[in-house]
Amino acid sequence: MRQAKTNLIKLWQWPNVLALDTALIAVLWQVALAGAVGAELGGAAYVVLGLSVWLAYVADRLYDVKSRDAAALLSIRHQFAKRHVRRLWRVWFAMLGLNLLVATQLTGAQLKHGALLLAVCFVYTLLNQKLSRRFFPKEICVALIYAGGVVVFLPEAVSVGFFAAFAFLCLLDCLMIGAKEITIDAGMRVHSVAPMVSERYLTPLAWIGAGLSLWNGLELWLGLALSFALIGALHGLRNRIEVESFRVLVDAALVAGVLLVL
């Protein structure tokens, strides 16, 4: 695969390159979930979640490129991070300070749950960087942590069924992207779950997720159903879609689902 050049980044790729899409998806689903259960979280909760997701993704990406040569980085996002590592770290610490400042506006319970999730993210980042060159189930961990972030400020109001379904959606998202980016991970010597799962099962699993979500019938679940259906369709067309475009489109499918609800 030809090495991607950061000066060829297209406008629609920038949210992914800057990890803004992952933060946006989390916040939108949190807004939809709060509305569905009739909870008032307050603006600080949304800001803290968005910043926390961004901080986690960018830190993981910066550690990914730290000990790897530029020639081994085949994705646009990693090449960009390698080229601008110092600037990104400066922005990262500034956003960390802002996040801590905003977090002072959280309630005691929100702060407690948020701190617990932050500790889990820290442990994940440490283990991923230490073990990924041998093996680390990053897709499973990311799916659980990401879903946990969306429900972290509403633990008593969210059903186990919704959490499991949303985590499964996130897992399929990660596995589909991982399967598509197998060459990228190989160049970075990253070993995870994605290569161990046969691609032929991913589309049927997405359709099963869509069917079960539709069967539930509640409005929030209809958003899940749409996202499941869209990622299933995209995975079915994966051989016709360029790798960088595929990543953006699969993540956009999660946005489409939540916009249906909102």
CB 249 within 8 A of CB 234: yes
Selection from 223, 246, 180 nearest residue 36 by Cα:
223
Confidence of residue 135 (pLDDT cuts 50, 70, 90): confident
- C-alpha torsion sign, points 212, 159, 126, 59: positive
42 has a pLDDT exceeding 50 = yes
**Is 180 inside any structural domain?**
yes
Residue carrying structure tokens 């996040």: 99
Highest mean pLDDT among 25-39, 57-71, 125-139, 175-189: 25-39
**Is 226 inside any structural domain?**
yes
- Given this model, what pLDDT does residue 7 score? 52
Digit-coded pLDDT (tens) for 223-254: 999 999 999 999 999 999 999 999 999 999 99
Q: How many of the other CB atoms lie within 10 Å of CB of 23?
A: 22
- Given this model, what pLDDT does residue 243 score? 92
**Is 47 inside any structural domain?**
yes
How buried is residue 112: exposed, middle or buried, by Cβ count under 10 Å (0-12/13-18/19+)? exposed
- Given this model, what pLDDT does residue 218 score? 81
Mean pLDDT of the chain: 90
Q: Show the domain range for 180.
A: 6-261
Domain count, the chain: 1
Mean pLDDT on 158-184: 92
Digit-coded pLDDT (tens) for 93-116: 999 999 999 999 999 989 988 888
- Given this model, what pLDDT does residue 6 score? 44
CB 88 within 8 A of CB 55: no
- Lowest mean pLDDT, pick from 95-109, 121-135, 163-177: 121-135
**Is 149 inside any structural domain?**
yes
Q: Return d(Cα 158, Cα 179) in angstroms, integer.
A: 31
**Is 1 inside any structural domain?**
no
- Given this model, what pLDDT does residue 3 score? 43
Mean pLDDT on 17-24: 95
Show the tokens assigned to 171: 């897992």
Digit-coded pLDDT (tens) for 207-227: 999 999 999 878 899 999 999
Confidence of residue 2 (pLDDT cuts 50, 70, 90): very low
